Each structure stands twice: as structure tokens, then as C-alpha cells.
Amino acid sequence: MLVSSLTTAVTAQEDSDEDEYFDFHTIASLGDSTLGSDPTGYRGPFASVHAANLMELDYYEGAVGGDRSWTLIEAGRHTTIADNYSEGTLVTIMIGAWDFIDSDAQIVKGDYSFISNLEENMTIILDTLTESNIDVLVWTLPNMSFLPFLTQIFPTEKHEFFTEASIQWADTLNRLADSYGDNVQVFDLLNASDDLLQNQEARTISGNEVVAPPVMCDKNCIMIDSLHPTSVGQGLLANYMMEAINEKFPKSTGDYPLLSQDELLSLADFNSSSEEAVKLTIEGDLTQACFDWTSTGYRDMYITISIDGEDVEIPSYVGFNTEQCSQSTHVMYTGSRVINVVTDITNNLTLNHFFSIWGKNLSSTQIMDHEVEEGDSLELIVDLVEYEGDWENIPVEGVISIEIIYTSARVAEYPSEDGESVPGFSAIIALASILGAIVVSRREE
């Protein structure tokens, strides 16, 4: 475990010359949904937006939820900024969280080789930006062993591997930034987030404590879900980032201001009580139901669909922007394997509701466009146990993982000759091992 700093944590590559100042007109964000791309609108303003307001600059949101380092490059989000902006632009970028999550099965074995690919991709991004005379404040990742998304899955003894990987990535990023001189600086989010998590004073606003993970809530916690900061969490991070900007990209007329205690208080609601919350009831067809995410909680559920050994990709944001409403009861929110399931409504949600919203078939005799014929098999595995209940009403209450495996008679009779694992199979095995460890640990408690 890292020792937290009781002061604002920033990492300097080189001491800036006393006479060197920076004059910006725009802040642009890049990376994942911690810096932008919130379709629900309940996790902002983002730290970069706060920075733009405090610095009185224009703001461009280039961050997209779920971005990996390679998807950012493939989409050309860095080149879009480089082509349209130049000197006077400060890009704030945090990328790599999803690279970590995608590599979780490797990390818990002490294999951190994915960091090399992450460094290569970051180099491509930084090269493109700096060639357009753009300055960059690149964020390290927080200590990923504190991320609820991961700690909810992996047993405690595996968490140290995420800490070590986080430290290695921070060291790599500092070394990489050094090669760009003053144009690329590092905001040490790793130590800043440790400070918020471990130092009660750092998250206390006018005598009111913002609650740290693993507790999550919509107003007065640092995190609203297993991945993202709340609005007040973003505000607290914004002040750490502003300290870094003042040190690394100073302006000639003095320091930029920070968010005041009153401004931070406005992002929370310490006068409210979770006990006062009324449980929401959704009437009518659940597949068309709408609700307000700002007053609704949810949890993660993991789903894997395999058709003849091929992993089926589930698109993100299933349920958003339907003809009926902008937010449906189930939402594919964090990526291709995670469904966010609403937890505080009175209706009994089922897996069938999600498939209905998705517009895909699910029954004991059909999955997607594949009907189960003689010799075919269709398995539904819920938390590692084969499901034997009603396929028309598959419950998801308390469920952690669901696996749907369809194998046609042709594949069953003539399996892959090379004997290699099919795409997605290793992920299924890894998840099974993880869930098994969780079951064991809970039984031992």
C-alpha cells in the first residue's frame, strides 16, 4: 500500500524556468468517461470542465466513455484535436483504466506486460499532440486496487497486484513525459486519489465528510458507482488538478483559483439523507420504462454469450435513446460484458427484459438468431450453476455472472482441430475462477 501524501500530489519532470509562462485559450479532454462522455449527466461537471471555468478558457470534450488507448487512436480522437487546435491548447488526458480492466486476468498473475502496449499507444497520442505545439497534462491512474469495479470481483489477496501495476504505469508515464520536456507534464492522480481515500481531512468540506469507497452514493460520496467519481468527487479532483496546472503550466499574472468550499458544497447535498429516499416504482412495460438516474442506484452484472465458441459482442448503451425514452430499465453501460441493473425499484427485473430492450431473442429454444435443433445445446449458467428454472422469467436479483453458451450439432461433432481456445473462452475461465474465489472467501467469513 502506498503511503499517502497529506499535501497535493503532483509530479514534476523538470523545474520550469522562472521566466517561462503559458498562455492558454482552450482546454481539451481526452481519455475515458472520468474526463468526459457522461450520457446521464449526473457525474459532472468534470474536473476538466471545472479547470476551463476557473481558467476562463474554452472547453472541448474529446473524452469518450469506455475508451481504451487503442480505441482512442483508431477513432482518431487525438488527431481531431491536433488538426483543429494548436499552440495555446492544453489537453488533459487520462487513458489506461480500461486497458487495466481488460488485462485483469494477467495482472492478478503478476503479468504487467500490457503496460508496454499502453506506453506505445500513449507515445503515439503524445507525438501527435506535441507536433501541433499542444501542451499536455497527462494523468496517472489511481491506485487500481481501490477501484470498486475490481475489488468487488477479486479476493483481497489479489489487490496488491493492481497496486503494483498502478505504480509501474505511473513510473512509465513519468519517464515518458520526461522525453517531451515542459510540453508534457504529469498530474499524479495515483497519490492524489490515495490522499482523498486515506486522509479524512482532504475530503472534508466545511465540516462535512465526503464518504470514501467502498461506499457509493449519488451526492455525498467520492464515487457514484464502481467506476466513476460523483459530481463532488470531480470537484475535489479538480482542485488537485488545478494545483498541478499552477505548478507545471504557470501564468504570468499568478495562480489560477481553486474551487471554493462553497462551490464544492454546491456539488453535494449534505442536507439530504439516504433514509429519506422513496423506493421507485415503474408502471407498465419494463422494456419501455423510464427513470431518473440521479435518484436511482444500480449494480454491475457480468454476462458472456458464446455462439459456437465465438464471443458475441454486446453493444454499449443498450437502452439509451430509445423511441420511448432516453434511459431504459437495463443499460449496457460500462462495456461489452457488464450490465448495470437498477437496484432500487419495486419491479422484479429479469434477463428477459434486457434482451427485449436489446431486441434479441432469448428462450430455452433460441438465442439470438439461432434456434436449438436436434443435436444442438444451449446452456444458461448463473453464478457458475446451470440454470434449471423458467427461461421466460430469468431472475437477476443478486446475480453476479451469467453465461449463455450455444453449441450447434455441427461444431459439437467436429470441434476445432487445432485444439486452441476459442475467442472469449479464456475470459470465461478467468471469470469463473474469480467468482469461485469470491464464493470461497464469503463462505469463510
Q: What is the pLDDT of residue 274?
A: 45
pLDDT confidence band for 47 (50 / 70 / 90): very high
Q: In this model, does residue 228 exceed pLDDT 70?
A: yes
- Tallying the residues shown for the chain, one arrives at 445
Euclidean distance between CA atoms 31 and 317, whole angstroms: 18
Identify the residue with better confidence: 338 or 13. 338
> What are the domain boundaries of the chain?
26-266, 286-444
Q: What is the pLDDT of residue 294?
A: 47
Residue-wise pLDDT tens digits, 203-227: 999 999 999 987 878 789 998 877 8
Task: Quote the strand ranges of 343-444, DSSP E.
Answer: 362-363, 366-367, 370-371, 377-382, 385-386, 401-407
For residue 208, give every residue at least 6 positions away whose Cβ sits within 8 Å of its Cβ, in sequence order, or none: 220, 265, 268, 270
Residue-wise pLDDT tens digits, 297-317: 666 678 889 999 888 888 766
The full DSSP string for 233-263 is HHHHHHHHHHHHHHHHS--TT-PPP---HHH
Q: What is the pLDDT of residue 377?
A: 93
Residue 350's DSSP bridge partners are 395
Euclidean distance between CA atoms 261 and 295, whole angstroms: 25
- When the pLDDT of each residue in the chain is averaged and rounded to a whole number, the result is 81
Query: Region 273-292: what's the mean pLDDT?
Result: 58
Q: In this model, does residue 29 exceed pLDDT 60?
A: yes
Of 205, 207, 255, 206, which Cα lies nearest the Cα of 231? Answer: 205
Distances from the Cα of 312 to the Cα of 54, 122, 177, 221, angstroms: 45, 29, 38, 35
The whole-model pTM stands at: 0.65
Query: Region 64-75: what's the mean pLDDT?
Result: 91
Which CATH superfamily hosts domain 26-266? Answer: SGNH hydrolase (3.40.50.1110)
pLDDT confidence band for 36 (50 / 70 / 90): confident
Euclidean distance between CA atoms 280 and 440, whole angstroms: 34
Q: What is the pLDDT of residue 411?
A: 77
Residue-wise pLDDT tens digits, 359-390: 899 999 999 999 999 999 999 998 888 999 99
Q: In this model, does residue 2 exceed pLDDT 70?
A: no
Q: In this model, does residue 6 exceed pLDDT 50?
A: no
Identify the residue with better confidence: 365 or 318. 365
- High-pLDDT (> 70) share of the chain, %: 73
Q: What is the pLDDT of residue 4?
A: 33
Identify the residue with better confidence: 143 or 343. 143
Of 152, 204, 166, which Cα lies nearest the Cα of 1? Answer: 166
Greatest Cα pair distance, the chain, in angstroms, is 79
Are 125 and 73 a contacting pair, CB within 8 Å?
Answer: yes
Among 41-50, 78-87, 148-157, which range has the highest average pLDDT? 78-87
Identify the residue with better confidence: 97 or 271. 97
Q: What is the pLDDT of residue 225?
A: 76
